[in-house]
């Protein structure tokens, strides 16, 4: 039986991968045999820890475990790349560094993003609006633009955008800039998918709901967190590794006919 989650020989770039969903995604791809580039802005310690975690796993260990065989001992390749993805010049440098050190990118996960701070409409400045749009939506588009040429040379690839339930429901109070940026990522996913579907590049997205990450530790008060948790039909918040597994599915051949789709992963909080 084919193991769809063997990514041996694939090069993966995950932006915003020093913590939370990004880090879980990077580490999962490493466990599945991929060479992984971990992009970060300030959290060098987290990025280095993710690199160490990937490097300590045998290359292709996930595939071996799935087959019930002994885990291999070869080291999985992982690097950390510092970049400010709100700047197109930095994105270009980041992608070139990945290509030089690991090879052309096969799988791009646009995970970088943040609310930065909660602000009501009359408090929201042009500067903060631009910052949040750049960090979430602009970064995803230009990272895709930078990675696509090598994907085309290699005959295909996969791009997964990490958006948010906020892009569907408008988000919690004080997050209209963030929810607008995440909604832009939804339409961007469809536009890129339509443009590159015939050229072997599949573009999809995941839309996490309430996930236990540093994001909520920073931006969500504990009483609000408890109320949100109680609203989820599954009765609990999600974990970063649960989102990572959906990202890996979308990048795999198991999702070979999925194109331009956004998978909601929210424990039933929002159902289509």
> Hey, which residues are catalytic here?
178
The structure tokens 């709901």 sit at: 209
Nearest to 26 by CA among 1, 3, 49: 49
Place of tokens 């990937």: 54
Strand order across the beta sheet in which 157-162 lies: 78-82, 35-40, 11-14, 107-110, 157-162, 201-208, 262-265
Burial class (CB in 10 A: 0-12, 13-18, 19+), 60: buried
Return the beta strands (E) in the chain as ranges: 11-14, 35-40, 78-82, 107-110, 157-162, 201-208, 262-265
For residue 258, which phi and psi values (nearest 5 degrees)?
-95, 125
């Amino acid at each position: 039986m084919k193991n769809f989650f063997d990514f041996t020989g694939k090069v993966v770039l995950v932006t915003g991968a020093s913590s939370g969903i990004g880090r879980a995604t990077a580490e999962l791809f490493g466990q599945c045999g991929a060479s992984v580039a971990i992009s970060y802005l300030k959290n060098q310690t987290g990025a280095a820890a993710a690199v160490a975690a990937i490097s300590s796993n045998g290359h292709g260990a996930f595939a071996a475990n799935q087959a019930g065989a002994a885990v291999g001992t070869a080291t999985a390749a992982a690097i950390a790349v510092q970049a400010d993805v709100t700047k197109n010049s930095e994105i270009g440098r980041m992608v070139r560094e990945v290509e030089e050190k690991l090879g052309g990118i096969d799988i791009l996960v646009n995970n970088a993003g943040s609310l930065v701070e909660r602000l009501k409409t009359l408090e929201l400045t042009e500067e903060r609006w631009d910052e949040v749009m750049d960090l979430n939506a602009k970064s995803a588009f230009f990272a895709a633009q930078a990675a696509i040429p090598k994907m085309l040379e290699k005959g295909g690839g996969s791009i997964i955008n990490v958006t948010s339930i906020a892009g569907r429901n408008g988000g919690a109070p004080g997050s209209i800039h963030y929810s607008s940026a995440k909604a832009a990522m939804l339409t961007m996913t469809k536009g890129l998918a339509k443009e590159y579907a015939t050229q072997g590049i599949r573009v999809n997205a995941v839309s996490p709901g309430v996930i236990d990450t540093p994001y909520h530790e920073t931006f969500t008060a504990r009483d609000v967190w408890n109320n949100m948790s109680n609203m989820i039909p599954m009765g609990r918040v999600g974990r970063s590794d649960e989102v990572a597994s959906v990202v890996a599915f979308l990048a795999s051949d198991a999702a070979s006919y999925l194109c331009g789709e956004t998978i909601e992963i929210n424990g039933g909080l929002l159902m289509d």
